[in-house]
Structure 1
Amino acid sequence: MLNLTDALKLYDILKDHLPVDATNLTAFHYAGKILDSIITKETHEDYLDAVALMNKCEIDDLIQNDVSEVFAAFIDGLIENEILEIKNFCEKVGYHG
């Protein structure tokens, strides 16, 4: 679980990809929507930055891993760190990054 400083960094990385409406979305589907946005907007650096932050590693270390392992780390990290709660917190306190 990320500390507050790193949670805000994660929000800064992903804020442009966070779905506005999460109604009826499971955490897994919410994470999938974030990934869809990254792919659509072709901002793959956001994907790598987020995975590196959540796993406390360097991007160079990530790219040496199997693609499926990095994908799993991204989805699991978003769920474990409760990205929707981070988004709600930032909106509630007026944090815009």
Structure 2
Amino acid sequence: ASKWQVFRMVRFPNALPYVFAGLDIGIVLAVIGALVGEFVGSQAGLGYLIMQRNASLDIPGVFAILIVLSLMGVVLHAVMKLLARKLVFWAASSSRDLTGV
């Protein structure tokens, strides 16, 4: 087999579970990074709204925004897991190994 065939048929498929794990972590950290960037130097966005609500002592508003951010993180995580399950169907998830689900 040529180097290209070995890469395409063996190495790349074996690397995909790790690629999707990295994407899953990266997507969540990107949301956190965007939020921190909005804290520091933005005039719009959820981070700016948190700072604005916090300055005006609107605690329910802060928690409402935090709930929206949490839901966004959960949805992005679920989308990545769904994509990984559909595209890398041969790789068993560690949670499925332990729980049988």
Please give the TM-score of this superposition, normalised by the length of structure 1: 0.31
By relative contact order (CA 8 Å, sep 6+), the higher-ranking structure is 1
User: Is the helix fraction higher in 1 or 2?
Assistant: 2
Greater C-alpha radius of gyration: 2
Please give the TM-score of this superposition, normalised by the length of structure 2: 0.30
